[in-house]
Amino acid sequence: MFTAAQLASLSVTERVTSALSLISSGYIIFTFLISTEFHKPINRLVFYASFGNIITNVATLISRSAITLGDNSALCQLQSFLIQMFMPADSLWTLAMACNVYLTFFRKYNAAQLKKQEWKYFLTCYGIPFIPAVTYLFVESKSRGKVYGPATLWCWITPKWDALRVATFYGPVWVVVLITVFIYVLAGVEIYQKRRQLQKFSHPGPLEVVDNPFVSTKTTKIEVTSEPAESRNPSESSLKHDDGIRVTPSRAYMEYSITIESGANAPKNPRIERPRTALDANTAAWGYTRIAFLFFIALLITWVPSSVNRVYSLVHPEKSNFPLNFVASLVLPLQGFWNGLIYFTTSLPASRNLWRRIDDRLRVLMRRGPASRPDSGQNHSVDINLQPRHRKANYESDSQRSLACSPDIHVGRRDPETDESPRSFSGGYLNI
């Protein structure tokens, strides 16, 4: 058994690392909800996993306090349930990322198809651990007592039920690890082959590429026409759209015509576009795989030391190794921290843009100060929208499949006298 000082150090370590993970998970949820720049396909999975990380860290933040209340206490049973259900769920989300890699490379899924799989991932990642976690609340025997009870670091499956720790906790996690390794090996071979193909752009034969899962290929055509008119009769000019939308302008101006085409129908040189498309598609797929692999590395950092501790306890059931338990108390609560760190570093441009907009809004509020009071007689409005105003076209996000139109989008020439835009239409989305 451990001394009181050793047990206290375990509790402090668990709480510090739990706090770090809570901060990281909170950052993920906050930024994902407040800005669409973070809505990459892989970030959505991290967003869903963060809720499980938060609940896990609430349980690990309790630390050994539940043990002191006894194994029959409601707090001890609740802590055991939360750890059994939500701690291994993080490994399943890593497997979900690997599944997206597989679907991208071998089933040619695009971003919309990957998004349709997310509800299945959610039910699987939280549904599978829920079954044993809730079952153990009602399992009890005369010789071994309840399944949930004191377990050194916190309340969990007691040593008398040690076989269940392997069968329904560590065992499934390592099955997930092996499946994930297998998928990444297959993806690595595929990436190697595709990169060799990309090095042969000058070859006249067909080049097989991975469909870019993060860019859609829908086509939009906008045609704007106008005829000269002397009156302001709104029927003399119109804006036509492929979807049958007809919008009447407010003024009539000089005759002109504008045609905009995008997507598959736009004219292009196949000799130039074929290598460019291949490079973009494979670069996007490789970028997704690289980030997903980082989460897999974090998974290994979390589970290898604690698994070594579990094997040691199985081989030496009457002994307790403090260094191994200390390392386990250090790495197990850090799941949310690693997820947040990878999320932050891989979304650094989006993070900079977000905090720059927040800083701009705060500066505007501080400058206006008393002038914005209701009794000042002045009407000042502050735009607090933190969504990006101008999004770059190369964001690997589902949001680039649509062009969000502001309430009044003006097209055409300006009136030299009034400086007004002659063509306008309101709201909606133009899918591209």
H or E element, residue 138: none
Say what the alpha-carbon torsion angle 104, 107, 113, 114 is, to the nearest 10 degrees. -40
Task: For 332, list phi and psi in degrees, rounded to 5.
Answer: -60, -45
State how far the Cα of 360 lies from the Cα of 344, in Å rounded to an integer: 21
pLDDT at 116: 92
Bridge partners of residue 239, in order along the sequence = 224, 247
State how far the Cα of 21 lies from the Cα of 58, in Å rounded to an integer: 10
Give 268-277 contacts, CB < 8 A, sequence gap 24+: 274/207, 275/198, 275/201, 275/207, 277/209, 277/212
Q: Are 18 and 61 in contact (CB under 8 A)?
A: yes
pLDDT at 366: 85
pLDDT at 392: 45
Residue position matching structure tokens 């130039």: 272
Output the 3-class SS for 22-46. HHHHHHHHHHHHHCHHHCCHHHHHH
State how far the Cα of 364 lies from the Cα of 189, in Å rounded to an integer: 53
With CA atoms as reference, report the closest residue to 21 among 53, 55, 59, 62.
Answer: 53
Q: Are 63 and 332 in contact (CB under 8 A)?
A: no
pLDDT at 316: 86
Q: Are 57 and 25 in contact (CB under 8 A)?
A: yes
With CA atoms as reference, report the closest residue to 409 among 423, 419, 398, 388.
Answer: 423
Residue 403: HSE in the Cβ half-sphere, 13 Å Cα cutoff: 12
- Going by their DSSP bridges, the two strands 424-425 and 409-410 should be labelled as antiparallel
Measure Cα distances from 167 to 66, 162, 222, 283, 329 in Å.
24, 9, 60, 40, 21
State how far the Cα of 145 lies from the Cα of 143, in Å rounded to an integer: 6
Bridge partners of residue 193, in order along the sequence = none
pLDDT at 2: 85
Q: For the chain, what is the total number of helices (H) and then of strands (E)? A: 13, 12
With CA atoms as reference, report the closest residue to 264 among 210, 222, 219, 208.
Answer: 219
pLDDT at 362: 86
Residue-by-residue pLDDT tens, the chain, 432 positions = 788 999 999 999 999 999 999 999 999 999 999 988 898 888 999 999 999 999 999 999 999 999 999 888 999 999 999 999 999 999 999 999 999 999 988 888 888 899 999 999 999 999 999 999 999 999 999 999 999 999 989 999 999 999 999 999 999 999 999 999 999 988 888 877 777 776 665 454 554 444 444 444 444 555 555 555 554 454 444 555 455 555 555 444 455 555 555 444 444 444 444 455 555 556 666 777 788 888 999 999 999 999 999 899 888 888 888 999 999 999 999 999 999 999 998 888 888 888 888 888 888 888 876 555 555 555 544 454 556 654 444 433 333 332 233 333 333 444 444 444 444 333 333 332
